[in-house]
A and B are shown apart, each in its own frame.
Chain A
Amino acid sequence: MKNALTIAAREIRSYFVSPVAYVVLTGFLLLAGWFFFNLLARFSYLLQIYSGMQQRGGPDLERLNLNEFVISPLLHNLSVVLVILIPVITMRCFAEEKRLGTFELLLTSPLRVGEIVAGKFLGGLAFLTVMLAGTAVYPALLVVYGDPEPGIMLSGYLGLYLVAASFLSIGLLTSSLTENQIIAAVSCLVTLLLLYVINWPADTAAPTLGAVLHYLSVTEHFAEFVKGVIDTRAIVFFFSLIAAALFLTHRSVESLRWR
């Protein structure tokens, strides 16, 4: 465990001394700000129209709430941005070590492969925490100036965090398979996109296959969280996805010894 933390600490340092981290952070916050601004502008526009219609017995104003019209689409948009940005963050994790030869240092040190993988994962998780925490300013603004449901917001953020963590574990896996960072990034991006849209044929597929595809869909589990439903099934799904990806990473790193 101590060794895993040592590796995680080095990993975090290495994130924050490289320009990649700052480009990713800036881009992520910039996009988040843009989404938030536009969603909020649309919300207040709708509010005006609805309240105008209200006097003539229009639709119910109660249906307009910040959670559904601002937070929920914001979180969904951010999850799409994560699909694109996480491969960029994880691509160097193992690939770079192999290129620099530092992998030889790690593997000839008295370290367990599990400690190396856990360290990389924890380091990445710390970076993602910073990244997601940066966007918390927008929901915080809503709490100060409006009255959204904080519970639903928190559950949505928990969902986004789990999505990010599973994407991270998949990124580690693809990075461990190659020494080429571009191959690592592209294969991670493709895997994440596939996981994102895997449920598209679910409704027309055979019932069993359909159910499987629905279950495998990151989007559907995430949507539950965003609605404020914390389902054990979804939590189990994300944890097993992370565990499976990290297990395969472990095998892939260990297999380097046997090639």
Chain B
Amino acid sequence: MIEVRNLTKRYGELTAIQEVSFTVGRGEILGFLGPNGAGKTTTMRILTGYMPATGGTVTVDGFDVFESSFEVRKRIGYLPESPPLYLDMTVDGYLRFVARIKGVAKADLDGATDRAVETCGLAEVRHRLTGHLSKGFRQRVGLAQALIHDPPVLVLDEPTIGLDPRQIIEIRKLIRRLSGNRTVILSTHILPEVSQICEKVVILAAGRVALEGRMDDLMKQGVSLEDVFLKAISKDEHAGEEAAGEAEASSEGAAP
């Protein structure tokens, strides 16, 4: 469903991600793991067509993100790191607006809005301003917004960040319920979240893929995600140190 190949993104001098490749099958939930600043958000922004990559390709449902960005954007529901809410609109008004710009047919506007409200448990706050909602509800409105046009692919950037434990459990349940036959990419740095809901995991460290694997394979090997994660990250740190060492050595060598 989603194929990411050799994706590289540079911001000027800074390389955010380098040669990132992975695939997600139809209906799978992919946990996208990594410490802060590993390049998770950058990858997701490229995937959703928000910004282009410096190199590499992404295809979603057979459509290239750069060449047929329009088709890709129709098929993706995206929840950015902070839910993109217009704080002066009611939940209902906001969801209807999003439904319209996502191309939901006019006849189905009410239906789509009702479905999203119901799925995300927003009935009680439906007529309140999004600006007056608690963080948990805002996050749910963000999810509802991503779902409203019933997209086959959901991209969720840290959907549980900043929520209290009860809310986290609710959102996780919701994501599991939503997945069904949808493909979900979920970024997080909370490990138990991945072991609880994901079928596949990709660990990103310092802009590179440190590990790509299926959860049940990891289980079979009897290693905990935590060990795998720490190992993947520390390996990268070593690599970083080595690279720095080499750079020093070569600069010494270059000095006359």
Contact = CB atoms under 8 A, between A and B. Distances in A.
Interface of A: 3, 6-7, 10, 13-14, 17-18, 100-111, 256-259
Interface in B65-97: 70, 73-74, 76, 78, 80-89, 93, 97
B56 interface: no
B50 A257 contact: yes
A258 B101 contact: no
Q: Is the interface of A mostly helix, strand, loop or mixed?
A: helix
Contact of B48 (A10, A100, A108, A259): A108
Interface string B83-118: 111111100010001101111000000000000000
Given A109-B101, A109-B102, A100 B73 contact: no
B93 to A, nearest CB: 8
Contacts of A258: 51-52
B49 interface: yes
Nearest to A109: B101
A110 B82 CA distance: 20
A17 to B, nearest CB: 5
Given A109-B102, A110-B70, A104 B50 contact: yes
Given A107-B50, A257-B52, A10 B76 contact: no
Contacts of B70: 110
Q: Could you say which interface size class chain B belongs to? A: 20 to 34
Interface string B134-156: 00000000000100000000000
Nearest to A5: B100
A10 B102 contact: no
Nearest to B51: A257
Contact of A100 (B85, B98, B100): B85
Give me the 10 closest cross-chain CB pairs, A-B, nearest first: A105-B84, A102-B84, A6-B100, A101-B84, A108-B48, A110-B73, A109-B101, A110-B74, A104-B80, A17-B88
B78 A102 contact: no
B197 to A, nearest CB: 23
Interface in B29-46: 45
Contacts of A7: 101
A106 to B, nearest CB: 7
30 contacts: A3-B100, A3-B101, A10-B97, A18-B88, A100-B84, A100-B87, A101-B82, A101-B83, A102-B84, A102-B86, A103-B84, A104-B50, A104-B78, A104-B84, A105-B84, A105-B145, A106-B101, A108-B48, A108-B73, A109-B98, A109-B101, A109-B102, A110-B73, A110-B101, A110-B102, A110-B103, A111-B101, A257-B50, A257-B51, A258-B52
